[in-house]
A and B are shown apart, each in its own frame.
Chain A
Amino acid sequence: MRRTWLFLAMTACAQEYDVTAHVDVDPEAVTECDFDEVDGAPGFSAYSCNPVFTTSDEPWAGVLGSTTFLESSVVQHPFYQIWYVGWPDADAEDRDFQIGTAISADGTEWEAHGDNPGWDKAAADAWDGDDIQNIKVAWDDRTQQYRMAYGGISRDYFFGIGTAASVDGVHWVRDPLNPALSLSAAVGDIDYAWPVAYTIDDGQHTALFAGTDSEEGALDLYELTADDPVGWPLAEPRRILEAGAPGAFDDEGFLDAALVHHEGVDWLFYIGFGR
């Protein structure tokens, strides 16, 4: 009898789960198709059933423009959110653009939000009334809201960077102090071209911009950090990466980038372009 009780007690207290630093999910374990190694890119695999997102079948988003992604961990398993600029018709002269969001639990099957689109478009003659490009979304843990940085274009071809905030990631409110940064004139000694990444860490808003400090120069990568995006013009720019050497694939600079923190190391993945 004593042995039986001891056995029961041991099973009841047995450690059933492996409590480690972090769960590492193999994408192939949660997706329908396989992943294939990418030629010339050691360590990278591509989903064999790509593309996973073309349009969302929403009438306002027949054509997609700029997109951006954010990963969110739910008990250490990634969910993915996408934000996309869309407009109904590719042939329309005037882009009636809106912004929507969709979510996926595996990165391949996407569900658009029922309240899309949640972007209150600016007036036609506003600084960002003609088009929106290069949207980037980050989560601000301090204020518990999403923030978006975007490139805005006016009908008179003024280019600037604006920001917006959203509690739910769907309905956005543009910052009344926009544009936070001009792209039509040099700021300090640097002509910024477009934003390529945006993160918020401990209340600090950091953006990476493609920009140049010379008239014919290639676009290097600059980092601006401030308490708020409106502080970017006054922030000390830090050139974190130069465009590639002449002849390299990235000798003209950078189009887009993603920052990844993995096992204590910050990684920068970028899309470069060349002559």
Chain B
Amino acid sequence: MRLRRVMRMLGGLALACGGLTGCLGPEQVACEEACDTLVGECGFAAYPDRTSCMEGCLNDADQGAPVSGLSTCVYEAECDPFEVVACSRAYGAGEE
């Protein structure tokens, strides 16, 4: 579990530093991680594809949602949809 987490953090660091200009902001890195979990790992049907997930996450970030906390929370939810919704209520836009 710890190794997975370290690998994930290194992945995020690589994402952030991968562009030569280093233009990926912390929100985009957090959203990449969140969508890796929600779409890639968990495969929740709510998301037509990863791009749609990213757009939603970045929109939330644009509106001030703490997506970094959300990303960590959904990762720790281990694909339990009840826990994922609880994460969104705590860190995201929540109920529409």
Question: Which residues of A does B touch, CB under 8 Å?
Answer: 5, 8-9, 12-13, 16-23, 25-26, 29-31, 70-79, 81, 103-106, 109, 111, 113, 139, 141, 144, 168-170, 261
A13 and B74 CA atoms in complex are apart in Å by 27
Residue in contact with A141 in the complex, picked from B18, B74, B94, CB distance below 8 Å: B94
B interface bracket (residues with beta carbon within 8 Å of A)? 35 or more
Is A106 touching B59 in the complex (CB atoms < 8 A)? no
Q: Chain B 60-91 against A: per-residue CB contact (8 Å), 1 yes, 0 no?
A: 10100001001000100000011011111110
Hey, which chain A residues are within 8 Å of B85, CB to CB? 72, 74, 79, 81, 103
- The secondary structure that dominates the B interface is helix
- The minimal Cβ–Cβ distance linking B67 to chain A, given in whole angstroms, is 8
CB A73 to nearest CB in B, in angstroms, measures: 5
Q: How many Å from the CB of A6 to the closest CB on chain B?
A: 10
Question: Among the listed B54, B70, B82, B87, which residue makes an inter-chain contact with A17, where contact means beta carbons less than 8 Å apart?
Answer: B54
Contact, CB under 8 Å: A139 / B95? yes
Say which residue of B19, B74, B81, B87 sits within 8 Å of A111 (CB atoms): B81
- Establish whether residues A19 and B88, one from each chain, have CB atoms under 8 Å apart when the complex forms: no
Could you pull out 28 A-B pairs where Cβ atoms are within 8 angstroms? A9-B20, A12-B18, A13-B21, A13-B23, A20-B59, A23-B55, A25-B52, A30-B46, A70-B95, A71-B95, A72-B94, A73-B88, A73-B93, A74-B87, A75-B57, A75-B60, A75-B70, A77-B44, A77-B53, A79-B46, A79-B84, A103-B81, A103-B85, A104-B81, A105-B46, A106-B45, A109-B45, A170-B82
Given A9-B20, A12-B21, A17-B54, A73–B47 Cβ distance below 8 Å? no
Nearest CB in chain A: distance from B36 CB, A: 12
